[in-house]
Structure 1
Amino acid sequence: MEKQNVIKSKGGRPKKTIKREQLMALKCTSYERKVIETRAKSANLSVSEYLRELGLTGKIDSRNKALPKEVLSFTATLNHMAANLNQIARKRNGTDELSPLERAGLKVQSGQVKELAIEIKNYLR
């Protein structure tokens, strides 16, 4: 039998379209370093992003990268529900039937999804 050459994907992070491969170092005092790090943190940027933006445009556009607590709460709830539903689906897609307790849990979960959808709609208004 012949072996076929199969090229497997290595997986991992996809390649960036613009690769930053050039390294630029600068010398500063420890005080200057703390000031730069503090300003970068207050602008919600890494030190590299902060210095790059400052060098290219001469100003920093302060952006808020943090999501509101409500959005993080919705995301956490949805992730928890998705894990539960995935476990039920895996069992159901196999040969096992759902027990009455699991069916009741599924009904409760369905109600929680509806409540969460209402909360999200109210938040977006």
Structure 2
Amino acid sequence: MQKIIKKRTGNKGGRPKAELKRNTHLTVMCNIIEKKIIQSNAKSARTNVSVYLRELGLNGRVRMVVKTLPKEVLQITGMLNHMAANLNQIAKKRNKGEDLNALDRALLNQEVRAIQEVVKDVKFYLV
């Protein structure tokens, strides 16, 4: 019996290759206090030290991108993450072949009602 081997053609997926790869190192000498200040400034600019120093060296300043979401959106996101964790626990139990007890069924019904409330909140927010 012959095995048929298919060769993959086209895109293999994954992260695309960078056009200009950054592969040269530049070392900066500083004391521990200066290092902490640079790290703190990079963190406040919401970037890493390498990007922070490169931007500062090439442009003389660092662009700060501030992303803010409304409080309601953050609350809904937190609620959805909590629900997802609960549903994942129930799914694991069901995939092991275990039946749901009365407490699990009650929690599941509570999650369903909470999801329905989130959907209402999202619709209200969008309208």
TM-score (norm 2): 0.59
Residues 64-106 of structure 1 show CA distances to partners (whole Å, capped at 9, x for unaligned) of 2576665444333222212221232333345444334432221
Q: Structure 1 residues 40 and 66 mapped into 2: Cα distance closer, same or farther (>3 Å)?
A: farther
| 47-56 or 31-40: bigger deviation | 31-40
Give the counterpart letter for 1:57 in structure 2: N
Question: How many percent of aligned residue pairs carry the same amino acid?
Answer: 46
- RMSD between superposed Cα atoms in Å: 3.4
Structure 2: distance between partners of 1:119 and 1:40: 36
State the one-letter code of the partner of 1:63: V
**1:17-75 Cα shifts (integer Å, max 9, x gaps):** 34543221122455654553443233222221111112233332111257666544433
- The structure 2 residue matched to 1:79, chosen from 56, 78, 81, is 81
- Write the letter of the residue equivalent to 1:59: R
Which of 39, 56, 68 aligns to 1:54? It is: 56
Task: Name the amino acid aligned to 2:91.
Answer: A
Q: Which amino acid aligns with 1:109?
A: E
Equivalent of 1:114 in 113, 116, 127? 116
User: Paired residue for 2:43?
Assistant: 41
Give the TM-score, by structure 1 length.
0.60
Change (3 A) 1:112 1:123: same
2:90 is the counterpart of 1:88: yes
**8 A Cα contact 1:40 1:46, kept in partner:** yes
Using the alignment, how far apart are the partners of 1:42 and 1:51 within structure 2? 13
Once the 2 structures are TM-superposed, how far is the Cα of residue 111 of structure 1 from its aligned partner? 0.6
